[in-house]
Each structure stands twice: as structure tokens, then as C-alpha cells.
């Protein structure tokens, strides 16, 4: 580990912190354009965070320490996740810190804390949101793991960095398994990031909301941290997806040129990805909450099929 490596790692984290709200803003803007609405400014999430950080925190009477700690834990988890996922380079100091399975665990930890915090106050909306979040997570996590196993089998390693290096270096081959895994991953990301077919980030309709129901009681800097963490989660998932399925452009080693080139490539990929996300959200209708298991079941199905197809078709014994 070199000093410059450390610097780049720090830079990657700062970049994540800075880009995450921008990505959220970009998706919202695209969505507004596609739906023929006048779009909010690109920087709206920053204004939002700024405003929230300046406001006072109002705590419910029954709130415990857990309620106050949870936003920090969630935020910390997401920052860690962003640091582990190779956004700019595969050779950063934190990359060997955790493999993909641990990464899923980090996401899971954040989920547990936010659900617990939601139930902590004892309002019906909070518990409802927490329960629904756990339902989604319980179904999404196995699918995500299956996706990761498929990629791990191709590269024979569960370390994100190794997977990305292997995938970026392979010849151009049509992997049906990767196609299946990609579809499954898209499904999971939609569910995990409270996007349209499963949840709608833009409403407060009590019958349907999941994420919003959990954070109703938060205010001030706590809410700001949680919103930021949500942005980071979207950023993390996007980067993970890009790293797994479109790994080209991510630098290996810590050469200045490669890393500097990786930044615009990443921004461009995120911009396209965000626009696609907004597009998919616009053409789909939100499904009833009871159909969410079916949606995630499909994701799981795809992931397992990818794994099986990988085993059958692509291994030459």
C-alpha cells in the first residue's frame, strides 16, 4: 500500500460522497423530462441536504439511543460499501478489506439498523415500513448472492477487485449466464433502492410506501444522513452493476493516467445508467406490495438460471 494509493482511496470516497446526490438529482431530472414535467434542478438533492443539516432535530418521546445512532450506522455502512466497490480502480487499499459476500452483509447491516430504528418509535407506519423492508430484503439478498456467485464462478474468486479484473480482461464472449445475472441484478437493484416496480421514492401514499414509511419520524441532520445514505446506496449499486457487467474503463494499478481517465468514464457510465433507470421507472407501473415477492422471485429465478447455465454451458471439463 502506497501513500498515493491511500490518497486515491480517500479521493474515491469523497467522489462517492459528492457524486451520490448528483446521481439522485440526475435520475429525478431524467424522470421529469420523460414524464413531460418541468424538471427540478440537477443540484436539488444538495439544496435539500443543506437545508436539512441546518434544521433542528426533533425527536419523538419514545426514541431510544438506537434511533439516534441508526442514521450514522447506515451512513457509515454505505460509505464503506462505496469504498469497497472498485469505482475508479481495482487496486485501492480498501479493496481487499471485504469480498462481495461481506459487501452484501454490509448492505444487510444497514437494512437491519434502519428497520430497527423505524420500529423503535412504535408508530404503525414505522413498523409497517420496517416489516416491508425486511420482506424485500429477505427476498432480494439471496438473489443478489446468486448473481455474485455467478460472477464469482467466472473469475474463481469472491473478491470484487479480482472479479472486475477478470471480467475486464476476458475476450469478448457472449455469456448467457452473465445476461441472466445482469437482469437479476437490475431487478434486485430496483427493489433495494426503493424504485418504481416495488416502491415509489416520490410518494407518501401509506398503502404502498416502504422506504418513506421507515423514515417518517426522522428530521434535521438525521434525515439528511439517511437521505444521503440512500443516495450512496443507489450510487453503490450502480457502481457495482457497472463494475460487474461493464467493467471496461476501471483502472488497474494506481497509475495517475489510468485513474484520471477512470473518472470521466465513470461519470459517463453513471449518467447513461441513471437515464436508463429513469426510463425503466417511467414505463413501469408500481406493483402491489403483495406482488413484490413475485417480482423478486423472478429476480431469484434469473439469478439461479444464470448460475445453472454457467455450470452447464460454460464449463469445459
- Which residues are at the interface with another protein (CB under 8 A)? 154, 170-171, 173-177, 179-180, 293-294, 297-298, 301, 304-305, 308-309, 311-317
Closer residue to another protein in complex, CB, 117/167: 167
Tell the smallest beta-carbon distance from residue 306 to another protein (Å): 9
- Give the residue from 249, 226, 286 showing the smallest Cα distance to 57: 226
Tell the smallest beta-carbon distance from residue 247 to another protein (Å): 16
Closer residue to another protein in complex, CB, 173/285: 173
Closer residue to another protein in complex, CB, 65/316: 316
Tell the smallest beta-carbon distance from residue 302 to another protein (Å): 8
Tell the smallest beta-carbon distance from residue 301 to another protein (Å): 5
Closer residue to another protein in complex, CB, 160/296: 296
Closer residue to another protein in complex, CB, 161/167: 167
Closer residue to another protein in complex, CB, 29/177: 177
Residue whose entry in the numeric block shows the C-alpha cell 473469475: 155
HEC string for the chain: CCHHHHHHHHHHHHHHHHHHHHHHHHHHHHHHHHCCCCCCCCCHHHHHHHHHHHCCCCCCCCCCHHHHHHHHHHHHHHHHHHHHCCCCECCCCCHHHCCHHHHHHHHHHHHHHHHHHHHHCCCHHHHHHHHHHHHHHHHHHHHHHHHHHHHHHHHCCCCHHHHHHHHHHCCCCCCHHHHHHHHHHHHHHHHHCCCCCCCCCCCCCCCCCCHHHHCCCCCHHHHHHHHHHHHHHHHHHHHHHHHHHCCCCCECCCCHHHHHHHHHHHHHHHHHHHHHHHHHHHHCCCCCHHHHHHHHHHHHHHHHHHHHHHHHHCCCC
Tell the smallest beta-carbon distance from residue 207 to another protein (Å): 22
Tell the smallest beta-carbon distance from residue 83 to another protein (Å): 31
Tell the smallest beta-carbon distance from residue 108 to another protein (Å): 22
Closer residue to another protein in complex, CB, 38/156: 156
Q: Which residues pair with 251 in a beta bridge?
A: 89
Closer residue to another protein in complex, CB, 124/315: 315
Q: What's the CA gap between 88 and 85, in Å, rounded?
A: 9
Tell the smallest beta-carbon distance from residue 238 to another protein (Å): 25
Amino acid at each position: 500500500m502506497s501513500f498515493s494509493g491511500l490518497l486515491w482511496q480517500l479521493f474515491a470516497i469523497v467522489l462517492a460522497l459528492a457524486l451520490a446526490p448528483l446521481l439522485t438529482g440526475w435520475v429525478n431530472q431524467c424522470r421529469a423530462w420523460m414524464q413531460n414535467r418541468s424538471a427540478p434542478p440537477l443540484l436539488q438533492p444538495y439544496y435539500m441536504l443543506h437545508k436539512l443539516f441546518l434544521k433542528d432535530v426533533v425527536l419523538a418521546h419514545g426514541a431510544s439511543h438506537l434511533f439516534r445512532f441508526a442514521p450514522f450506522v447506515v451512513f457509515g455502512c454505505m460509505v464503506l460499501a462505496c469504498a469497497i466497490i472498485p469505482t475508479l480502480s481495482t487496486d485501492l487499499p480498501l479493496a481487499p478489506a471485504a469480498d462481495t459476500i461481506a459487501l452484501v452483509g454490509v448492505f444487510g447491516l444497514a437494512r437491519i439498523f434502519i428497520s430497527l430504528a423505524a420500529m423503535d418509535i412504535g408508530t404503525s407506519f414505522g413498523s409497517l415500513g420496517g416489516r416491508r423492508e425486511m420482506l424485500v430484503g429477505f427476498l432480494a439478498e439471496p438473489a443478489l448472492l446468486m448473481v455474485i456467485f455467478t460472477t464469482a464462478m467466472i473469475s474463481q474468486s469472491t473478491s470484487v477487485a479480482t472479479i472486475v479484473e477478470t471480467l475486464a480482461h476476458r475476450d469478448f464472449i457472449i455469456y448467457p449466464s452473465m445476461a441472466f445475472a445482469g437482469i437479476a441484478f437490475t431487478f434486485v437493484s430496483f427493489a433495494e433502492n426503493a424504485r418504481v416496480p416495488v416502491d415509489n421514492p416520490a410518494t407518501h401514499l401509506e398503502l404502498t410506501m416502504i422506504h418513506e414509511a421507515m423514515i417518517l419520524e426522522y428530521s434535521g441532520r438525521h434525515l439528511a444522513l439517511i437521505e444521503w445514505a440512500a443516495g450512496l446506496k443507489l450510487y453503490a449499486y450502480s457502481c457495482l452493476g457497472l463494475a460487474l457487467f461493464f467493467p471496461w474503463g476501471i483502472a488497474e494499478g494506481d497509475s495517475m493516467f489510468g485513474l484520471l481517465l477512470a473518472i470521466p468514464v465513470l461519470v459517463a457510465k453513471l449518467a447513461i445508467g441513471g437515464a436508463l433507470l429513469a426510463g425503466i421507472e417511467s414505463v413501469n407501473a408500481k406493483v402491489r406490495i403483495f406482488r413484490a415477492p413475485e417480482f423478486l422471485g423472478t429476480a431469484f429465478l434469473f439469478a439461479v438460471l444464470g448460475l445453472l447455465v454457467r455450470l452447464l454451458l460454460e464449463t469445459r471439463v
